[in-house]
Chains A and B, each alone.
Chain A
């Protein structure tokens, strides 16, 4: 571990949830950090070629990013953490748990140097800190430096999350104002805004290759996208227990909490899942059954999907929302 100078982080899966923390932590320990470029066709194809057919789209993308870092040749090691489900109510899909071993086995012939760690309870600050301190110790840094690095990194992550949550509140507030203005317009020419809550794992919602087309289409059709994963995480997690007692996954809990908190402030919900996402195969069903009163569109993306089909579905969905906004069937 002594000759490592540059550490690569694949821009996939939990990078979108904890990336700031990882990057800052490693930087504070004195490493150069290289995050792979945003997903494109080439990265995805490389990942698909390296993966077993049956894995989910997000996993294939992740493998593509690992391959890109390996091909780039600038990294001495790649950071692949394992987030597991020791916390039964705030765990992770087994995909994240097996990730280090999966990467090692997938790229066994290239023998990548991996920096791995186990985060057993991501939602438990004390435990997470202990896990990162252990990683720092393994990397050979002085304990004081590791503790400081973790403190700075965690603060940066919290600040990033808080900024996203604040921006979301601001957007909701503006939409509310705008709605009032549109309602008070006597001519009725003013079109009220459409707030669309996008419910997706962060690595789906913020990946330009996977969800870029969909976000662009919603904006083009006049909708404003509110990301469910940007709601205040702690508050959303707490609220998610109103939605479900036994939902085992942290990210899905945050999404469920966000829906519970925001469903009255938005005009429609778009559920976006990568095929075949394990947690979402049940979570989407639960949302469709339990969330009433807001129109929901359930979209599934796989590697083959062209954007035309998705756009048609979005267009009709937004037409329905507009129709509802005008009073729909009530006022004929």
Chain B
């Protein structure tokens, strides 16, 4: 112990002496003085290694020293001023979002990349899902409510910690609170991220809600970047689906398009960045374009219009678009998530149907009517209006659709889906509708 204590100052002096030999006499005197105080000032001695210490220097020299930098400036170790608030860790809570058409890759991306949590992928809906939903909903609430109730119960059974519900301008805005209440009454314990909260402040309110309810450690700039990428993915999915619906009915070998489409969904589920999303889309589109098709010059064309959930979601509309494609129909559907949310200008869209409506009639009404008129003008053979039972805004569209149908001589098939709609019954109606359109086309 005693040796080591002594050793430090002695070593210091020795080093000092070695530098003295290299310098001239004057410095030697100075260092001799320094040697005397070495015992008490260990630290200042170490600094005295620098040969310029205690050497009187002119002002010129000083400016030279300041401005001459032979070696790159080193970063000065600086005390951290701010405590780090965000922790870099992935939160291990399982987040689940209801089943909705083909958007689950985007939901997965949102949960993993934006919320930075684990995503709980729900398997395909079964009859049991539907029954659970019906049992636990009020009987005349609109049908998507029942589908979602079934989804939530299955998600909670599979171990979900957080459920994500969106808000909307119709009954959808009250779904979250009501479903949370029903599930709590059933005895489940969970957190619900309900985007009906914070809606007054828009994105800011939703951001706060997410940080509060789900994960306070989200790196916000990264989250925003990934949220934009998520929106991009939705747009690309919709674009790919549009291509699929336009050509899927004419493939030479049955099932090619479906395989390519499923491949796209799988590839999208594996993406983590915008570049990967673009790559997955490009690959899938190349694959779909390479599929041999046998498309007549003037195929039967049908436009699907209707309500945002039922007209898109194949689980609740019993695969409406695929059924039509199987009959050899070119299907178009303007209504999708990206057209409604990521780039949507309601007022300008309403201008195109100014002779029919003056006001915004509800959440997707303008899009339904504008799409109907556009399809009619493009010479589509027929329209299919798909909505769930009790959808007030879409029911109110029907009188206007009847006028469009009369003015443009375009037949409209009105389909109302509830939980009892049978697959066979739907098939019969669609076949009859198709036969009528095909016969009308032949007669022309």
A281 within 8 A of B: yes
Interface residues of B in 384-430 (CB under 8 A from A): 389-390, 392-393, 395-396, 398-400, 402-403, 416
Q: Which residues of B contact A279 (CB under 8 A)?
A: 171
A101 within 8 A of B: yes
B196 within 8 A of A: yes
Give the interface size bracket for A toward B: 35 or more
A245 within 8 A of B: yes
Q: Which residues of A contact B363 (CB under 8 A)?
A: 94
B390/A97 in contact, CB under 8 A: no
B138, B170, B177, B194: the one within 8 Å of A247 (CB): B177
- How many Å lie between the Cα of A89 and that of B169 in the bound state? 10
A289/B177 in contact, CB under 8 A: no
A239 within 8 A of B: no
- How many Å lie between the Cα of A159 and that of B177 in the bound state? 35
Give the interface size bracket for B toward A: 35 or more
Interface residues of B in 187-210 (CB under 8 A from A): 194, 196-197, 199-200
Among B31-39, B85-93, B221-229, B353-361, which stretch is in contact with chain A? B353-361
A285/B403 in contact, CB under 8 A: no
B400/A105 in contact, CB under 8 A: yes
- How many Å lie between the Cα of A275 and that of B392 in the bound state? 12
Q: Which residues of A contact B145 (CB under 8 A)?
A: 282
Q: Which residues of B contact A285 (CB under 8 A)?
A: 138, 141, 178, 182
A307 within 8 A of B: no
B359/A118 in contact, CB under 8 A: yes
A247, A248, A282, A290: the one within 8 Å of B141 (CB): A282
Q: Which residues of A contact B196 (CB under 8 A)?
A: 245-246, 248
B185 within 8 A of A: yes
Q: Which residues of A contact B341 (CB under 8 A)?
A: none
- How many Å lie between the Cα of A289 and that of B179 in the bound state? 12
Chain A, Cβ-Cβ closest to B180: A246
A94/B396 in contact, CB under 8 A: yes
B141, B169, B185, B402: the one within 8 Å of A91 (CB): B169
B176 within 8 A of A: yes
B177/A88 in contact, CB under 8 A: no
A102 within 8 A of B: yes
B399/A52 in contact, CB under 8 A: yes
A98/B177 in contact, CB under 8 A: no
B174 within 8 A of A: yes
B362/A97 in contact, CB under 8 A: yes
Q: Which residues of B contact A106 (CB under 8 A)?
A: 399
B185/A289 in contact, CB under 8 A: yes
Besides A94-B170, A100-B358, 5 new A-B residue pairs in contact (Cβ under 8 A), listed by A number: A52-B395, A102-B399, A246-B173, A246-B196, A286-B178
- Please give me the 5 A-B residue pairs with the lowest Cβ-Cβ distance, nearest first: A98-B361, A94-B362, A105-B399, A285-B138, A246-B196
